[in-house]
Structure 1
Amino acid sequence: MSIAVDVQYATDAPDLPCEADFARWVETVLKARKIDGEICIRIVDEEESQALNAEYRGKDKPTNVLSFPFEVPPGVPVTLLGDLIICAAVVAREAEEQQKAALHHWAHMVVHGTLHLLGFDHINDDEAEEMEALERDLLARLDIADPYAI
C-alpha cells in the first residue's frame, strides 16, 4: 500500500500534533478502506480558514476542517486524493468546549476530512449516519471514544 501525507504548518499555534500523528490518522482511514493515496494537510489560523470557508462554502467564519477532493482527469494515473485545511484555533476551542482531549479531536477532524476526500458526506440523515458510523469505527481503532457520545 502506498500512502503519503504532506503536512504544512501555516500557523504558530501551540500544541499542534506532529506529522507522525497526522500520518497515522490518515493511514488508519485509507488502510481500512484499502485505498492508496496522497493527502496534503495544511494547518492554518482563523483568518485563512475564514477566507477559504467564505470563498468555497459561502460561510464567512472560520471552520474546523475543509476538504478539497482532487478530481483526477480520466486516464491519468494520479493517487492524489486532495487537501485538508484544518484551523488550529477552532479545533482547540471545540475540544475545550466539548471537554475532549485535544489530540482526540484533532484525530476526529482528520478522519472526518479524509472520509470527505473519499466521497462520504453528511448532507442528509442517511449519509450522516453512515459517515458517523465509519468515524466511530475508525476512531475506535485508534483507541479514541465515540466523538458523538453525549
Structure 2
Amino acid sequence: MKNVLFVCLGNICRSPLGEAVFNHKADPLSMRADSAGTAAYHVGENPDHRSISVANKYHVPIHHKARKFVAEDFERFDYIIAMDRNNYDDMKALAQGGIDHLFLLREFDPEADGDMDVPDPYYGGSDGFEHVFHMVSRSIDELIKHIASDQ
C-alpha cells in the first residue's frame, strides 16, 4: 500500500481536501492519504466548514483532525505533497535525507499555468474553496496515475 501525505500551512483547508479527495478516488487502489500542516495553529481542529461543505457537495467524505507535520513523516509516507512553494520549502528544510518523494501538488495539474501553488482559500469566500476543490481533484487524478505507474 502506498501512503500519501498532503501538507499545507494550517491543515484545515487545502490539505484536508487533498486527503479526502485522494482517499475517495484511490480507495480501490490500495492507496491511503493523510494530511498535516507546517504550522500548529489548528492542531486538533476539524477542517474549515467551507472545506467540509465543498467536499459534501461532491459526495467526498471528509474526516480529519488537524495535526502538525513532523520530520518523521518523511519516513512514514511514500509521497509527500505540498500545496504551495512555501510549505514545500519548509518541509525541504526539515528533511535529513533525500527529498525524492516530496512534490508540489500542481506538478500533477494538467492545467497548471506556471503557478505551482494551490491558493489558500481561507480568507476568501466559498467560491475560493470551489476553485481549490477542482484544482486539487484534477491534480489528484494525475497523481494517482503517477503513483500507479511507479509501482
Give the TM-score category using the shorter length. Answer: 0.3 to 0.5
Greater RCO (Cα-Cα under 8 Å, separation 6 or more):
2
Structure of larger gyration radius = 1
TM-score, normalised relative to structure 2? 0.35
